[in-house]
Amino acid sequence: MEIIRLLKKSICFVVIVARHCGVHKRVRLIPRSSTPRIWSFLSSLNEFRGFRQPLKKLAGNERGVALVLALVMLFLMSLLGSLIFTTSTTEVQISRNYRSSQNAFYAAERGVQYAYGDSNVYSSIIPGTTNSVNVPVGGVSLQVGSSDVAGTVQYVGNGNPPRGSGVDVTQYQANYYVIDVTGTGGNNSNMEVEAGNAKIVPK
Band the pLDDT of 3: cuts 50, 70, 90: very low
- DSSP letters, the chain, are -HHHHHHHHHHHHHHHHHHHHT--S------GGGHHHHHHHHHHHHHHHHHHHHHHHHHT--TTHHHHHHHHHHHHHHHHHHHHHHHHHHHHHHHHHHHHHHHHHHHHHHHHHHHHH-HHHHHT-BTTTB-EEEES-TT----BTTBEEEEEEEEEEEESPPTTS---TTTEEEEEEEEEEEEE-STT-EEEEEEEEEEEEE-
Instruction: Evaluate if residue 149 carries a pLDDT over 90.
Output: yes
pLDDT digits (tens, 9 = 90+) for 118-148: 989 998 998 888 899 999 988 888 888 889 9
Q: What is the pLDDT of residue 27?
A: 41
Instruction: Evaluate if residue 175 carries a pLDDT over 70.
Output: yes
pLDDT digits (tens, 9 = 90+) for 110-121: 999 999 989 899
Considering only 9-13, 96-100, 151-155, which range has the smallest mean pLDDT? 9-13
Band the pLDDT of 166: cuts 50, 70, 90: confident
Considering only 25-29, 62-66, 168-172, which range has the smallest mean pLDDT? 25-29
